[in-house]
Structure 1
Amino acid sequence: MTVTLMCGPSGSGKTTWAADLEGAGAVRLSFDVELWRRGSRPLTATPELMQEVDAELRTRLVYLVRAGRDVVLDLTFSTRAMRQEWRALVLPLGVVPETVHLDVPHDELRRRLTARSDTAADDVALTPEQIERHLAEFEPPTAEEGPLRVVRVDPLA
């Protein structure tokens, strides 16, 4: 059984990667999908709704791991503290999550995010100011945090 933490700024391709794992049998958990299903978006959701979704996703993660299911967490995991909190949920269950960090050049991220249509949970548009703040606040994961796979995305390849 595996738990994968998808890590990278918005637009890095986390959902595409997570969908591939989902196609191979993992259960995908996503804030964006849950918020969209409830008629909200990550940047406009109330703190109460964010807390509710967070609690539900954490509960589902533990339930799925106890049931022996592979899980991919399709979240940004933008801070070390956030990654540590989610790892701590499954470590007592004998699972050491792997972090998959999609490392994409910032110019490519800006291009992708600017092209979003805001018509689906995984296509939420950001303003230029939100994009810059998101990129500035993102803390790349390090090997000291636990198993880490860094995928460098070359947009010209």
Structure 2
Amino acid sequence: MCGPAGSGKSTYARMLEPAGYVVLSFDAEAWELGHRVHPLPADVMQTVHDRLQNRLTELVTRGDRVVVDTSFWSRISRERYRDILAPLGVTPTVYYLDTPRDVLLGRLRARSNAGPDDVHVPAEQALAYLDGFQKPSPDEGPLRIIRHEPDTLRLPG
């Protein structure tokens, strides 16, 4: 899953679970480690990614289908996961959630820090996330763009 905070990544990832996917969530992992404030320090981010990548490798090696729920905000962040999967013979498909900016900002304003999918993101930080986000492109590898109107997220038919 790829998209800025508030794009619907976690919702979409959970929709894939009934199809047999295991969801690995950056936010859930950080929450489990006790982190409630974003952005996370660089060392904590690395720890969370290390844990996700180790689990991803284990699951893929045993043949499970996996969806990684994190922003993948930069091309290099997506390449790092591709590099981990390549030796296993796996070419991941990036599902990019193309969500309108006003919808993202509204969702983030409504967050209350009640859980890992509800981490409060201050307005200034939300804008920085959006402005710094590098959209994936087809030259990176398989890409599915999921465009949706507010609150109408559906699996592609």
Report if TM-score (shorter chain) is over 0.5.
yes
Structure 1 partner of 2:82: 87
How many residues end up aligned between the 2 structures? 152
Structure 2 partner of 1:96: 91
**Contact 2:56–2:66 under 8 Å retained in 1:** yes
Partner residue of 2:136 out of 124, 136, 141: 141
Residues in 2 aligned to 1:44 and 1:144: alpha-carbon distance in whole angstroms: 29
| Structure 2: stretches of 5+ with no match in the other structure | 153-157
Structure 1 partner of 2:155: none
Correspondence 1:1-157 to 2 at 5 A = 6-41=1-36, 43=38, 45-155=40-150
**Contact 1:35–1:42 under 8 Å retained in 2:** no
Give, as a single letter, the amino acid of the residue that structure 2 aligns with 1:48: D
> What SS is found at the alignment partner of 2:28?
helix
Residues in 1 aligned to 2:116 and 2:60: alpha-carbon distance in whole angstroms: 25
**Contact 1:32–1:41 under 8 Å retained in 2:** no
> What SS is found at the alignment partner of 1:8?
coil
Give 1:44 shift: 5.2
Give 1:46 shift: 3.7
Residues in 2 aligned to 1:44 and 1:104: alpha-carbon distance in whole angstroms: 21
- What RMSD over aligned residues (CA atoms) do the two structures have, in Å? 1.5
TM-score (norm 1): 0.91
Residues in 1 aligned to 2:10 and 2:54: alpha-carbon distance in whole angstroms: 21
Residues in 2 aligned to 1:69 and 1:9: alpha-carbon distance in whole angstroms: 26
> What SS is found at the alignment partner of 1:7?
coil
Instruction: Give CA-to-partner distance per residue, 1:45-94, whole Å, 9 cap, x none.
Output: 44333222221111111111110000000000000010011011111211
Relative to structure 1, is the Cα distance of residues 38 and 111 closer, same or farther in structure 2, using a 3 angstrom cutoff? Answer: same
> What SS is found at the alignment partner of 1:43?
coil
**Contact 1:31–1:42 under 8 Å retained in 2:** no
Identity, in percent, stands at: 45
